[in-house]
Amino acid sequence: MAIERLSGPQKAAIFLYSIGEEMASTIVKQLDEEEIKRIGGSISKLSTISPKVMEIILTEFQEASAVQLPIQIGQEGKSQFIKSIVSKAIDAEKAQNILEEIQEEGKWNLFQKIRRLDPKTVSNFIRTEHPQTIAIILTHLDSNQAAAILEEFPPALQTDVICRIAELENIPPGIVEEIDEVLQEEIATIKGFGGQKSGGVRLAAEILNQMEGAAEGNILKEIEEQKQGLAEEIRKLMFIFEDLLQVDDRSIMAILKEVNNETLMMALKTASEELKEKIFKNMSERAAQMLREDLEVMPPARLKDVEAAQQSILKVAKKLESEGKIVLASKSKEEVFV
């Protein structure tokens, strides 16, 4: 961490961390909420402070002593320090709101630079990393971007990474911080904030859901050959086109409003009769009759085009669900709606 690259809030954060909670909370009392948020956010992103940087900062703050050894700042220590000084400086309700904002800011900034890059660039950048490292990186990205990046990898690497994502649980903060520091050196301004619970079977399923049908099937087939139990767990959480049978009629109608007739007709080409009837039931009588007739005279279509149309409709459904407008039934029995 070069001193010339440190901002004012970062220097203040290092200084406060060095003087301890009691003195730091006394200083924080003199700051307004925005200043506290900025400094708290800077504390949450600290990793290692070199003796030279500490000495310069302490000198700037007119402190006489210099630290002789690097200060390693663990995630738990940072969180407790921020919580302590903010709680001592302002009332409980305001403190809680500020702490939540600081925490969210830290999560949002994780691997932020990579989020702005296109999938091919990211895949070229990380494909030589260890599969476990790739898995950790992908768990911190949006599932759409993670899927697009994964599609750029060779099949064997795709399978390996998905298996590792599915089996990830709590990642030690130090590991994420170490990965982040390496990425900062190689891509410049990536900021890290480790320690979240990442990965898991659900995320692996979400990423596969965003991939093209053939690639998704190949990966699952490979996983099944290596780890049948894991493949079954992933399949249980994947939402496929036929699962629209389990979706309530109101939600189906909301989905159909967002889908054009050409896409719907292509998607229904390989659908079961039960699903077709469910779709027809949630359309006007005239529209349903026209769609039936169009399907009867529809020429052969490439499976790739049918799967693309189905994925397009599933993306609409997931978007509506994320906006709270519909509920998609899960194959898992974890969620119960009453």
**Domain range annotation of the chain:** 3-108, 112-237, 241-322
Distances, alpha carbon 215 to alpha carbons 121, 155, 203, 221, in Å: 20, 8, 17, 10
Tell me how far apart the alpha carbons of residues 56 and 203 are, in angstroms, rounded to a whole number. Answer: 44
Tell me how far apart the alpha carbons of residues 256 and 267 are, in angstroms, rounded to a whole number. Answer: 12
112-237 to CATH, choices 3.30.1600.10, 3.40.50.80, 1.10.220.30, 1.20.120.1200: 1.10.220.30
Do residues 195 and 75 make contact, with C-beta atoms less than 8 angstroms apart? yes
Name residue 71's beta-bridge partners: 49
Lowest mean pLDDT among 12-16, 43-47, 104-108, 250-254: 104-108
Tell me how far apart the alpha carbons of residues 184 and 22 are, in angstroms, rounded to a whole number. Answer: 33
Do residues 207 and 143 make contact, with C-beta atoms less than 8 angstroms apart? yes
For the domain made up of 241-322, the CATH class stated in words is mainly alpha
**Measured over all CA atoms, what is the biggest interatomic distance in the chain, rounded to whole angstroms?**
87
CB atoms < 10 A from the CB of 14, how many?
A: 24
Query: pTM for this one?
Result: 0.39
Lowest mean pLDDT among 172-176, 205-209, 275-279, 328-332: 328-332
* Residue 206: partners with Cβ closer than 8 Å, 6 or more residues away: 143
Tell me how far apart the alpha carbons of residues 153 and 16 are, in angstroms, rounded to a whole number. Answer: 45
On the question of pLDDT at 334 being above 50, the answer is no
Considering the chain, what percentage of its residues have pLDDT values greater than 70? 68
Q: Which CATH architecture has domain 3-108?
A: Orthogonal Bundle (1.10)
Structure tokens at 299: 């020429």
Same fold, 3-108 and 241-322: yes
Q: What is the 3-state secondary structure (H, E, C) of 72-137?
A: ECCHHHHHHHHHHHHHHHCCHHHHHHHHHHHHHHHHHCECHHHHCCCHHHHHHHHCCCCHHHHHHH
State residue 327's pLDDT score: 82
Please write the tens of the pLDDT for every residue from 29-54.
777 777 777 777 766 666 666 777 77
pLDDT band at 168 (very low <50, low <70, confident <90, very high): confident
82 vs 277, higher pLDDT: 277
**Main-chain phi, psi angles of 66, to 5 degrees:** -125, 140
Helix (H) or strand (E) holding 48: strand 48-49
State residue 194's pLDDT score: 35
Lowest mean pLDDT among 116-130, 139-153, 260-274: 116-130
State residue 3's pLDDT score: 56
Question: What mean pLDDT, rounded, does the chain reach?
Answer: 75
